Chains A and B, each alone.
Chain A
Amino acid sequence: MSAEELTRRVIGVIAKTHRVSPETITPETTFQELGMDSLDAVNVLFALEEEFNVNIPDEDAREIRTVRQVIEGIARLLAAGSQGGAQPLGEQAT
């Protein structure tokens, strides 16, 4: 996935989950600017985990303030996953 594609998809997920237009979001946008409280943020993180099939650790989740941090974090998790570091959905529960 290209960096542009990843950015577009992350913004798309945030926009859909938080019910705002994707045009209002750039990588520099902060969660605070989007009016997100902590509960809104866990909703967005859940949607991102579903979209990209990754598990975002709680420690990382607490650090996230901007959309860029999200994009970079997802990119790291996807890279780790492609090296066999992340488990596909469904296997952990069996």
Chain B
Amino acid sequence: MKRRVVVTGIGVISALGHNSTQFWARLSAGVSGIGPIQSVDCSQFRFRNGAEVRDFRPQDHFEEREMDFLDRFAQFAVVAAREAVRDAAVEWNGGLRRRTAVVTGSCVGGQTTEDAAFAEVYRDGRSRVHPMTIPRIMANAGASQISLELGVTGPVFTVSTACSSANHAIGQAFWMVRDGVADLAITGGSEAPFSFGNLKAWEALRVVSPDTCRPFSKGRRGMILGEGAAMLVLEPLEAARARGARIYAELVGFGMSSDAYHITQPSVEGPVQAMDAALEDAGLEPEAVGYINAHGTGTQANDPTESAAIRAVFGPHADRLAVSSTKSMHGHTLGAAGAIEAAATVLALRHGLLPPTANFLEPDPECDLDVVPNQARRAEVEYALSNSFAFGGLNAVLAFRRWDG
């Protein structure tokens, strides 16, 4: 029998702050964390702005020894996981540790380390790189460190599906808890994409905005890269109730699909199939959904395509839906995006307050949805979707339900 699965802990580190409280305060106030990139000299780039985690001091979180083998993206994963586990007040015992899963998403893994190490051998002509380079680069470094730190010995792995990584990760964790494969899951994603080489690669794609991220708005000029991590604690409803845990929301559905269309161009059909699959998995009629946290990258291609996909799934109900893209505030965090946006969706349901699409200028007829421009909105929504659509055509959608106790 399938078990109901609830979210009992949230941890977030992003451009909007170092914990989930700061994250929600800024997100619900419509404050954008986008600003001039400080970690890389972008003076010769076609873009200058990003959504960086500011004032992050690893030494406040890790011993020197731990910092040796933790790239920035893995540090973010651990910081978010610690907050989520503390927030959930998980009561550990040997049996639970064996039955706990850690599933994380990351698109580029420890590429800040990789970029620096490769520059040393290629550019500087050095004959060796630091021995911790490999453990720092591996995309599962965050998941492994969370497992080590908590003594968790159940299923632990990392999913890499570009911008859908975290949604695919959360979906796998959700199904494992629902099906009884795991009794607790710590799941989400983390990313730290700000290195010279990686930013150059993004520049070449001509999808990064020279100013800011304005999803669904006329005058939008592209995406803004972001960094950070978010982790959720998932557990079966009965277990959460038995220990008196605070429940944020119920995770009710997960759907995925592949466009099989183009390596970077989005399609309408793939996202439609993924949203349909999430609704079916949740046993929901489209009319039950009141809010969608959109993929909403702010690129020319994504936003009209996603708007058309939402119209195709929801029909006339699309006009009664609120849709917002919080990437306008925390940036596009690639492999962490689904996790940060899942946290945003869960908190929106809990607080009855829909975060806005910030930096919005004026409506674009090609994106004719109610995108909650610039101002958060009070709304008691029962069901919400969180969309992630990746380069490579891989789509993953989560469905959440407000928890009324």
A pairs with B = yes
Chain A residues near B (Cβ < 8 Å): 19, 39, 42-43, 45-46, 49-50, 55, 87, 89-94
Contact status A93-B131, CB under 8 Å: no
Chain B, residues 54-77, CB within 8 Å of chain A (1/0): the string is 000000000011001100000000
Smallest beta-carbon distance A46→chain B, Å: 5
Interface residues of B (CB under 8 A from A): 64-65, 68-69, 121-122, 125-128, 130-132, 135
6 contacts between A and B (CB under 8 A): A39-B132, A43-B68, A46-B130, A89-B126, A90-B127, A94-B125
Residue from the list B122, B127, B128, B131 in contact with A43, Cβ < 8 A: B131
Other A-B pairs, 19, CB within 8 Å; known A43-B132, A91-B127: A39-B131, A39-B132, A42-B131, A43-B68, A43-B131, A45-B131, A55-B127, A87-B127, A89-B126, A90-B125, A90-B126, A90-B127, A92-B127, A93-B121, A93-B122, A93-B125, A93-B126, A93-B127, A94-B125
Once bound together, how far apart are the Cα atoms of A45 and B130, in whole Å?
10
Please name all residues of chain A whose beta carbon is closer than 8 Å to the beta carbon of B122 when the two chains form the complex.
93
Closest-CB distance, B113 to chain A (whole angstroms) = 15
Q: Which chain B residues border A91 with CB–CB below 8 Å?
A: 127
Q: Report A-chain residues with C-beta under 8 Å of the C-beta of B135.
A: 39
Q: Which residues from A are CB-within-8-Å of B127?
A: 55, 87, 89-93
Assembly CA distance A39 to B135 (angstroms): 10
From the candidates B65, B126, B132, name the one contacting A19 in the complex (CB within 8 A).
B65
A19-B64, A19-B65 in contact; A46/B125 too (CB < 8 A)?
A: no
> Cβ of A45: which chain B residues have Cβ within 8 Å of it?
131
Q: Tell me which residues across on chain B come within 8 A of A94, comparing CB atoms.
A: 125
Q: Which residue of A lies closest to B63 (CB)?
A: A19
Contact A49 B128 (CB under 8 A): yes
B126, A46: Cβ atoms under 8 Å? no
A29 to chain B minimum Cβ distance, whole angstroms, is 19
Residues of A within 8 A of B69 (CB): 39
Q: Please name all residues of chain A whose beta carbon is closer than 8 Å to the beta carbon of B121 when the two chains form the complex.
A: 93
For B130, the closest partner residue in chain A by CB is A46
A46 to B121 CA separation, bound complex (whole angstroms): 15
Complex Cα–Cα for A39 and B131 (A): 8
List B contacts of A50 (CB < 8 A): 128
Taking the closest CB of chain A, its distance from the CB of B247, in whole angstroms, is 41
**Assembled-state Cα–Cα distance A90/B130 (Å):** 15
Q: Tell me, rounded to whole Å, the shortest Cβ–Cβ distance linking B127 to chain A.
A: 5
CB distance from A64 to the nearest CB of B (A): 14
A-side contacts of B126, CB under 8 Å: 89-90, 93
Q: What's the Cα separation between A19 and B64 when bound, in Å?
A: 9
Distance in angstroms between the alpha carbons of A55 and B127 in the assembled complex: 9
CB of B64 within 8 A of CB of A46, answer: no
In the complex, how many angstroms separate the beta carbon of A19 from the nearest chain B beta carbon?
Answer: 6
Q: How far is the CA of A46 from the CA of B128 in the complex (A)?
A: 8
Q: Can you name the residue of chain A whose Cβ is closest to the Cβ of B127?
A: A92
Q: In this complex, which of A45, A46, A49, A94 has the most chain B Cβ atoms within 10 angstroms of its Cβ?
A: A46
Which of A42, A45, A89, A93 has the largest number of chain B CB atoms within 10 A?
A93
What B residues does A93 contact at CB under 8 A? 121-122, 125-127
A32: min CB distance to chain B, Å: 18
- Nearest-neighbour CB distance to chain A for B270, whole angstroms, equals 43
Interfacial chain A residues near B68, Cβ < 8 Å: 43
Cβ B131 vs Cβ A46 within 8 A: yes
